[in-house]
Amino acid sequence: MKLYGYFRSSAAYRVRIALALKGLEYENIAVNLKPGISEQKSGEYLAVNPQGRVPFFTDGDVAISQSPAILEYLEETYSDVPLLPKGAVDRAVVRQLASLIGCDIHPLQNLSVLQRLKGEFGADTDAASDWVRHWVTEGFSAFETLITDTAGTYCFGDTVTLADVYLVPQLYNARRYETPLEAFPEIVRIDAACNALDAFRFAAPEQQPDAPAL
Ligand SMILES: N[C@@H](CCC(=O)N[C@@H](CS)C(=O)NCC(=O)O)C(=O)O
């Protein structure tokens, strides 16, 4: 298995967490998204993933982009450590939580969105950071309410699910943009519970080979 990613990419971070939870080994291929380097736009990488984004994942002949598709593939193919509960309703609830982050928060704070806000719409760095905080706060407010009904140790009961796999990278990003978190005690508690697990620690951005030395 190969994972093309970037230490700070939250979509790649999701896949790293799932691979670690499932105990799957992979080769990490760093694609440097840093503005000015932008390896994701290089001809070499576009030949791998025409969308020019990470993550991109291969497993033998299987080659897929889009973290939700990769996560579902891993779930269906390597089911020893499931990240979705058994029943259809419970699975839908977990996917609902994951989608709230994956569809309604993350895309709005992606690098190319922020670059366009700055480059084409006159936003300075403070305005772009404010934009990120707005969408994170709005999404987390709904997430915090939803998990009141579902959480145990983790977002859905006492077993780690895809909801946690999406939440932890998003919280990492929220902190990066200094989003106030006082209104989200359950989210913060669950993030800490997840980060106490080896798999989450192993997948953390600062543990990645392409992370700058502290
Ligand atoms: N929906 C995609 C989003 C992928 C994505 O936006 N990745 C970001 C990093 S988190 C990226 O590669 N950005 C590069 C760019 O915007 O140029 C997924 O979940 O895999």
> Over the stretch 76-99, which tens digit does the pLDDT of each residue have?
999 999 999 999 999 999 999 999
The reply to whether ligand 1 has any atom less than 6 angstroms from the CB of 96 is: no
* Cβ of residue 67 lying under 6 Å from some atom of ligand 1: yes
pLDDT score, position 142: 98
pLDDT at position 213, please?
82
For ligand 1, atom 11, the nearest C-alpha belongs to: 53
Backbone angles phi, psi at 107, to 5 degrees: -65, -30
Alpha carbon distance 63, 70 (integer Å): 9
- CB of 166 closer than 8 Å to CB of 123: no
Spatial neighbors of 13 by CB under 8 A, at least 6 apart, are: 5, 168, 169, 172, 203, 204, 205
Q: What is the mean pLDDT of the chain?
A: 97
Q: Which CATH class is domain 2-81?
A: alpha beta
Would you say the CB of residue 115 lies under 6 angstroms from ligand 1? no
> Token pair for residue 128?
């772009």
Q: Is the CB of 10 under 6 A from ligand 1?
A: yes
pLDDT computed for residue 120 by the predictor? 97
Of the residues 74, 108, 110, which should be mutated to test ligand 1's pocket, given the most ligand atoms within 8 Å of the CB? 110
Evaluate if residue 214 carries a pLDDT over 80.
no
Domain map (residue ranges) of the chain: 2-81, 88-200
d(CA 195, CA 190): 9
What global pTM score does this model have?
A: 0.98
Structure tokens at 176: 């990066």
Architecture of the domain made up of 88-200: Up-down Bundle (1.20)
